[in-house]
């Protein structure tokens, strides 16, 4: 009688501890703040910040304190793939300096906690075979190892798609600003202010570029940082166009006009591609749900007539 109570109490304790650790690990990731303190270290502070939200954190966040306290106890949270994971985290919007270490912490916790919780639940609810228990534990460990990466990758992909959809409109505004006489550096500040409501992600990225330029960073490095944060190939081509036009002394306005036309055409082609895929996508639920119903409606009356009229007549003929 005491053993089931102890087992239930242990299960509740394990689930509660896992929930607390997951909350402490994942909560800072949802704070979509831009920490520029380390990225702009050693440069001159800007005289005035852009109107976009670029507030620097006033103190260490919960995630940074948690990572620091764990590393002080001798547990290394160094990223196994620093280039890949850090770049993907930045593209997903996690630009905090401790994001990579927090990612490793969350992945380690999930890899250890999920199999423990799953094995405990299975052992308390049934008497599984060793092979089944091993498969459950291995599957949960695999899920805990790859779920954080899948979440970060999907968030980076959706963020890049949103940035790409708003990029042609932003290019048109930049072209208008350049033709009106503004320099390319001032265009980032002005365009970032104008598209804050319609395309907030692009506005934030442009504001970061403007802030870095005002802080003394070179234009080439600031634009390459924009490519690294967004991970969009079209923005990489745009940055290459700006850098080459600047180095060769060609007209930036003419280059932007040609590239803006290409971006609008590319967006139109993406929309047409999605429209052409709709009939194929619609046919799947039609075949899966509508076709069996239509077949049943057409065949059922005939089947009822056969059962009611023909089968009794066949039976009487046999007698």
Quick: pLDDT tens for 263-281: 888 888 888 888 888 888 8
Structure tokens at 318: 């046999």
pLDDT at 37 over 50: no
What's the confidence (pLDDT) of residue 108?
Answer: 84
Q: Compare 9 and 47 and report the one with higher pLDDT.
A: 9
Q: Compare 82 and 166 and report the one with higher pLDDT.
A: 166
Dist. CA 285–CA 302, nearest whole Å: 26
pLDDT at 2 over 60: no
pLDDT at 49 over 60: no
Residue 50 pLDDT grade (very low, low, confident, very high; cuts 50, 70, 90): very low
Query: Can you say how many angstroms the Cα of residue 263 is from the centroid of all Cα atoms in its chain?
Result: 23
What's the confidence (pLDDT) of residue 47?
Answer: 36
By the 8 A CB rule, do 187 and 175 touch? no
Dist. CA 292–CA 201, nearest whole Å: 45
Dist. CA 147–CA 179, nearest whole Å: 47
Domain ranges for the chain, please list them.
Answer: 2-159, 162-269
What's the confidence (pLDDT) of residue 13?
Answer: 60
Q: Compare 299 and 311 and report the one with higher pLDDT.
A: 299
By the 8 A CB rule, do 91 and 160 touch? yes
Nearest to 187 by CA among 176, 200, 201: 176
Residue 94: partners with Cβ closer than 8 Å, 6 or more residues away: 29, 103, 152
Looking at every residue in the chain, the average pLDDT score rounds to 77
pLDDT at 188 over 50: yes
Say if pTM beats, i.e. exceeds, 0.75: no
Average pLDDT estimate for 64-85 = 69
Tally of CA atoms within 13 A in the half-sphere of 280 that contains its CB: 5
Could you tell me which CATH number the domain at 162-269 has?
Answer: 1.20.81
Dist. CA 150–CA 143, nearest whole Å: 10
What's the confidence (pLDDT) of residue 7?
Answer: 54
Q: Compare 61 and 205 and report the one with higher pLDDT.
A: 205
Nearest to 178 by CA among 235, 127, 121, 242: 242
What's the confidence (pLDDT) of residue 90?
Answer: 86
Average pLDDT estimate for 55-66 = 59
What's the confidence (pLDDT) of residue 5?
Answer: 55
């Amino acid at each position: 009688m005491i053993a089931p109570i102890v087992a239930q109490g242990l299960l509740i304790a394990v689930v509660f501890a896992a929930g607390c650790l997951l909350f402490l690990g994942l909560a800072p990731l949802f704070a979509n703040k831009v920490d520029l303190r380390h990225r702009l270290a050693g440069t001159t502070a800007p005289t005035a910040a852009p109107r976009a939200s670029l507030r620097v954190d006033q103190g260490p966040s919960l995630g940074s304190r948690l990572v620091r306290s764990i590393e002080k106890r001798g547990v290394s949270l160094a990223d196994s793939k620093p280039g890949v994971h850090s770049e993907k985290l930045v593209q997903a919007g996690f630009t905090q300096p401790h994001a990579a270490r927090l990612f490793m912490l969350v992945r380690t916790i999930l890899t250890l906690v999920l199999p423990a919780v799953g094995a405990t639940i299975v052992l308390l609810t049934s008497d599984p075979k060793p092979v089944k228990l091993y498969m459950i534990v291995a599957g949960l460990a695999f899920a805990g190892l790859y779920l954080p990466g899948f979440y970060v990758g999907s968030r980076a992909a959706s963020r890049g798609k949103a940035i790409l959809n708003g990029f042609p409109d932003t290019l048109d505004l930049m072209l208008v600003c350049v033709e009106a006489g503004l320099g390319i550096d001032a265009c980032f500040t002005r365009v970032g202010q104008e598209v804050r409501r319609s395309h907030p992600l692009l506005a934030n990225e442009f504001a970061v570029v403007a802030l870095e330029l005002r802080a003394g960073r070179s234009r080439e490095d600031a634009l390459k940082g924009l490519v690294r944060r967004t991970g969009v190939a079209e923005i990489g081509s745009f940055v290459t166009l700006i850098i080459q036009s600047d180095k060769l002394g060609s007209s930036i306005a003419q280059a932007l006009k040609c590239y803006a036309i290409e971006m609008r055409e590319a967006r139109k082609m993406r929309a047409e591609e999605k429209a052409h895929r709709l009939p194929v996508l619609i046919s799947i639920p039609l075949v899966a749900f509508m076709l069996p119903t239509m077949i049943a409606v057409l065949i059922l009356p005939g089947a009822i007539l056969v059962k009611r009229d023909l089968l009794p007549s066949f039976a009487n003929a046999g007698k």
